[in-house]
Amino acid sequence: MINASGIAFSYAGAPVLDDIDLVVEQGTTVGLIGPNGSGKSTLLRTIYRSLRPHSGVVAIDDIPVRTLRGRSLAARLAVVGQEAPAETPATVTDTVLLGRAPWTHSLRGYSRGDRIAAAAALEHVGARHLADRPVTQLSGGERQRVLIARALAQRADHLLLDEPTNHLDIGYQHELLGLVRALAATTLIVLHDLNLAARYCDALVLLHRGRIAAAGPVDRVLTPEVIEPVYGVRVHRTTAFGETQLLFGPRDRLPATKPADRNGVREEAATR
């Protein structure tokens, strides 16, 4: 379980997070959503200790993150962040082996067990065939699979992902999130696409201006009443493929009416 309580953080005196309480129950996938600048990535960074909150406590399985060091933290938490394309010609296997770094001795290098763990992680994400390829030659979707494999090789049971579907086409987005949803891990994932969040998350936390605007089951958070004032768009909620689906339109585009036809009957025009 991931528990963040009373988290506050500021950049140069400007508040970014204000009294955030968040719980990710064991074995669930929770989506962190909200407009640009709402504090999603900042909150994620306070959880994995890249940033130190000005107040509040983050705990994993009731153990404060600030007390965990080295292997103790690595055993519990893995991160797939927003990463630029690799500049070095490291192979996929070399990249995934980085997930084993917390468990290796600096002088001995990677063991046979580490290499077995890396191969198993690649197999799990369907990327074993890429093992010898340079990461620089991978597509965006392939690279994201490799980064997830690296996190799996770490053998942590809590996973944080920061916008893993950025720059991926629709097919890869669904493929990747389907893979994440099937993992046996407690997962917190930052997503921009609300329809992807609806389909692949058990619950959602909506941030707005550094505070939680709504949190809970998908059907309770993704309603026009909640989403419209946060994103400033018109929202229509429907169902597609058995899941909640949102349709969006600009607020200033209201239904118009056509001039009377030849029979003197006025017809409403469809909203563009």
Is 56 a residue whose pLDDT tops 90?
yes
Domains, the chain: 2-230 (3.40.50.300)
- Please identify which residue in the block is written with the tokens 């994201």: 144
Q: Is 13 exposed, middle or buried (0-12, 13-18, 19+ CB in 10 A)?
A: exposed
**pLDDT at res. 83:** 66
187 C-beta neighbours (distance < 10 Å), count? 24
Q: Are 190 and 204 contacting, i.e. CB atoms less than 8 angstroms apart?
A: no
Q: Is the pLDDT of residue 262 over 90?
A: no
Dihedral sign computed on CA atoms, order 199, 237, 165, 163? negative
- Closest residue by Cα to residue 6 from 59, 69, 73: 59
pLDDT of 264 strictly over 90: no
Tell me what the mean pLDDT of segment 88-114 comes to.
87
Cα–chain-centroid distance for residue 225? 24
- Tokens standing for 45? 């960074």
pLDDT for 12 equals 87
pLDDT of residue 269: 33
Q: Which residues contact 106 (CB under 8 A, 6 or more apart)?
A: none
Question: What amino acid occupies position 101?
Answer: A
- Considering only CA atoms, give the Rg of the chain: 22
